[in-house]
Amino acid sequence: MADAIEINFDGLVGPTHNYAGLSVGNLASQQHRNTVSHPRQAALQGLAKMKFMADLGLKQAVLPPQARPDLATLRRLGFSGNDAQVLEKAHRDAPQILAACFSASAMWAANAATVSPSTDCADGRVHMTAANLVSQFHRSFEAAHTSAVMRAVFADDRFFSHHPLLPASAHLGDEGAANQMRMARSHGNGGIEIFVYGRTAFDARAETPARFPARQTLEASQSVARLHQLDPPRAIFIQQNPAAIDAGAFHNDVVAVANENVLLYHADAFADRERSIAAIRAAFTRACGSEPILIEVPTEEISLGDAVRSYLFNSQLVTMPNQSMALICPIECQEIASTRAWLDELLAKGAHPIRTVHFVDVRQSMNNGGGPACLRLRVVLRPEEMAAIKSNIFLTDALYVELCDWVKRHYRESLSPDDLRDVKLIEESNAALAELQKLLGL
Ligand code: SUG
């Protein structure tokens, strides 16, 4: 299946994008708590990134936002009456719960699911497990809807196998592809899947971060690998460095990114660095018959603090149509001296296939701890698998224009914390999503 390609499915930012400081351990989310957000700009920034990727010659698709506020969850928690009354009571008694139910966090599609390409799976189908996201309340109720969207988009069961969400328990906290990296000689070849977990749930003596929660458990990662029918030697489990989580790397994709045979990672990304790297190298070499290219960034060149501030490792590392690689970085990497210098040097020394670096502005998402790579879910598909997708979700020039126009007609320019009690926001969001559904043929 050498002709398989990678498609980036980006989450479209929803009309209620706001800053409520909901994610403990996510420094940007905490820093921007209760500041004014700009939903229209956020959505246009996301769309501009998608268009940029498509213009590079890469296949780009879009996933719809979810309906927010989640009134069903508010009612489940005892807020009653008509919609306006539910908002008013929640705003008065539990403003953080109201904000959680308004969160547009489904935009970070890297947390939507874990996906294994058909070539990795014993039954030759693409396997998908939507993430339960149990570790953060506001993200936990994305899961059921995400699962439904995945089943609707990847509907043909000759090609796609969907697994139910893992049980909604802290023991099985699953954050999707943000904690999984795939490496192979090329996207179409069989490869290895590296699952990076934050803690071991069933071992009370295991090392855990001291300050911040470790969201992904080993037991969740192992379950996904089993469900996806991965060949055991090709599925490896590496613990994320608790110090990285404590420095604000709440997902592995804040400190590491892989593409085909290249792994770019911070020296402090993994617990027991030498053993972890040796395990990755050995598994890759055994499975792929050649050595991987491992680019380690030392702390002396980029501190963990700068890695988290810049989101350098949340860049998208992609294979270009001419087979070279490009790194699509958040614009913050250009503004921080250490990452800027490191990127200049990366391009100067060439023992790796990365030939170009581009910068994209997704600041509205970055303010909530979501960089370029957080916004997308990677799916490697063979031509016949791609042809089985019937909805109008692949980004063309025409769809891009339509989506920008749709955003400009429906999204507010800004949202402040107080706006979350405005019942008109519900009507506006519903109208926007109803129109989008038709536009995307979902
Ligand atoms: O889960 N932020 C998201 C950011 C997710 C980034 N994704 C990846 N690294 N793949 C999170 O912490 C902030 C919401 C708020 O504070 O309003 C938030 O949910």
DSSP per position, 59-85: EEEEEPPPPSS-HHHHHHTT--SSHHH
Omega before 69 within 30 of 0, i.e. cis:
yes
Amino acid at 394: F
**Whose Cα sits closest to atom 5 in ligand 1?**
370
C-alpha distance from residue 369 to each of 20, 190, 209, 271 (Å): 12, 32, 19, 22
How far, in Å, from the CA of 207 to the mean position of ligand 1? 24
Ligand 1 site, residue 21, Cβ cutoff 6 A? yes
pLDDT at 2: 55
CA 86 to chain centre: 31
**Whose Cα sits closest to atom 8 in ligand 1?**
374
How many other CB atoms sit within 10 Å of the CB of residue 181? 24
How far, in Å, from the CA of 250 to the mean position of ligand 1? 9
Catalytic residues: 175, 251, 374
Q: How far is it, in rounded angstroms, from Cα 399 to Cα 397?
A: 6
Pairing outcome for strands 316-319 and 325-330: antiparallel
How far, in Å, from the CA of 289 to the mean position of ligand 1? 37
Pocket test for ligand 1, best of 35, 111, 257, 416 (most atoms within 8 A of CB): 111
Helix (H) or strand (E) holding 5, with range, is strand 5-11
Which pLDDT tens digit goes with each residue over 294-306? 999 999 999 999 9
Q: Between 83-93 and 423-440, two packed helices, what is the crossing angle to 10 degrees? A: 120
How many other CB atoms sit within 10 Å of the CB of residue 208? 16
Q: For residue 136, give the ligand 1 atom closest to its CA.
A: 1
Residue spans of the chain under pLDDT 70 = 1-2
Which pLDDT tens digit goes with each residue over 79-137? 999 999 999 999 999 999 999 999 999 999 999 999 999 999 999 999 999 999 999 99
> Closest Cα partner for 15 from 372, 419, 412?
412
Contacts of 213 (CB under 8 A, 6+ apart): 24, 25, 135, 198, 245, 250
Q: Are 63 and 112 in contact (CB under 8 A)?
A: yes
Q: How far is it, in rounded angstroms, from Cα 238 to Cα 226?
A: 16
Ligand 1 site, residue 132, Cβ cutoff 6 A? no
Ligand 1 site, residue 13, Cβ cutoff 6 A? no
How far, in Å, from the CA of 145 to the mean position of ligand 1? 17
